[in-house]
Structure 1
């Protein structure tokens, strides 16, 4: 390749983490410890619909973890960690898919870390970055919207400040808008279920997302979404005014909307 034809590619910036949305719904996660450090970990796991197993002597439980146990939100084992916990755990009687340690015992935590490596189970050892397969970031949550800020273990407090700043910049209702778009996508898959429709579905959903503001999307009713879907086959998206005019069972013909090569318009 000659110099004048060299392509420009992104510069590699080492030292980062691979930021992922880890799907752990219905997967078993072992939390070793039940004190204050475990509190946030357990809540994050429950928010992600994981099956949480807490191993900790009752004397070490915080009030919030006791609450989770009393309300059957977690499976509780009133004892210290045992190596066999990495092989079989209730209620599945299988090995955990993930392990989090939150105990004030560095030697014990390191031993658990080494055992997890032997069993190839991803683990997070609280406050010991070198012994973590993954980190917890500071997360902004608004319904289905999650924004994580990570400093790769270098400045958790600063990450929380940055997360709060980002959250304040977002308009109200953005979570509701995402929820409605997600429901529309699910409805579209029922209208056009064939795998061959995949590329068209994707392109049409992009057009829908670009056509309305976040405020518009957050106020879409079930009727509105059903009406939007009628425009999928001709591969068009109605203006918001047209969509509002269709409420109450009206069709495009009722409001003098025509389907032409230049799109849709409302007659005077």
Structure 2
């Protein structure tokens, strides 16, 4: 049976340099998704033309750079991640080839076999962030699961996280001792709900 062997990581985009090739709907979607998760992300977008919405993002976020020109190999210089987001399959494949030659991680939109990483659906409640992956099988299912989790996880959970952070800082002992104590404190989060005792008439 096939399994999902992806290794989930969370990138600090404010410490990386990201290149997006494509200024249309796909490019706008990818840039917007990254900004929602990391408003300080360093993103360069290369395209022949840009959607007005993408131009507006660049005006709002000064860490977004728009370069109006065709893609070239030099665009990969100094980049850590690249997203090929054009509607030209041949161009996307070319970008993939150049990225692999430059040892830059790449995501080719809607082409799982040419992706080193995926941009999954994300659920966020304050400091809590959950990324969902279907191994490239169905982004639609990932979006539906996002809706379910977004509604199921209470907003107050972020308050719990903040209080636990304070408790952790006050705990004495080594790492193992702190983990043991925090496990005790948070056990209530995973304990099965107690069954109600039926009342006698």
Please state which band the TM-score falls in when normalised by the shorter chain. Answer: 0.7 to 0.9
> Cα RMSD over matched residues?
2.4
1:38 aligned to 2:27? yes
> What residue number does 2:82 align with?
99
> What residue number does 1:22 align with?
10
Q: Unaligned 5+ residue runs, structure 1?
A: 1-12, 88-94, 214-268
Shift, 1:208, TM fit: 3.2
1:50 aligned to 2:41? yes
Q: How many residue pairs are counted as aligned between the two chains?
A: 186
Residues 1:106 and 1:212: Cα distance change in structure 2 (over 3 Å): closer
Residues 1:51 and 1:182: Cα distance change in structure 2 (over 3 Å): farther
CA distance in 2, matches of 1:64, 1:144: 28
Residues 1:83 and 1:137: Cα distance change in structure 2 (over 3 Å): same
Residues 1:176 and 1:39: Cα distance change in structure 2 (over 3 Å): farther
Shift, 1:166, TM fit: 2.4
> What residue number does 1:202 align with?
179
Say which SS state the counterpart of residue 186 (structure 2) adopts. helix
User: Are the counterparts in 2 of residues 54 and 77 from structure 1 also a CA contact under 8 Å?
Assistant: yes
CA distance in 2, matches of 1:211, 1:162: 24
Shift, 1:184, TM fit: 4.2
Which structure 2 residues correspond to residues 118-267 of structure 1 after superposition, within 5 A?
Answer: 118-185=101-168, 187-188=169-170, 197-210=174-187
Stretch deviating more after TM superposition (41-50 or 63-72): 41-50
CA distance in 2, matches of 1:145, 1:174: 8
CA distance in 1, matches of 2:146, 2:189: 27
Stretch deviating more after TM superposition (122-131 or 139-148): 139-148
Shift, 1:160, TM fit: 1.1
Say which SS state the counterpart of residue 120 (structure 1) adopts. coil
Q: Unaligned 5+ residue runs, structure 2?
A: 191-201
| Higher-RCO chain (CA-CA 8 Å, sequence separation at least 6) | 2
User: Are the counterparts in 2 of residues 100 and 125 from structure 1 also a CA contact under 8 Å?
Assistant: yes
Say which SS state the counterpart of residue 199 (structure 1) adopts. helix
TM-score of the two chains, using structure 2 as the length reference: 0.80
User: Are the counterparts in 2 of residues 143 and 179 from structure 1 also a CA contact under 8 Å?
Assistant: no
User: Are the counterparts in 1 of residues 125 and 155 from structure 2 also a CA contact under 8 Å?
Assistant: no
Residues 1:183 and 1:50: Cα distance change in structure 2 (over 3 Å): farther
TM-score of the two chains, using structure 1 as the length reference: 0.62
CA distance in 2, matches of 1:145, 1:124: 25
CA distance in 2, matches of 1:125, 1:183: 41
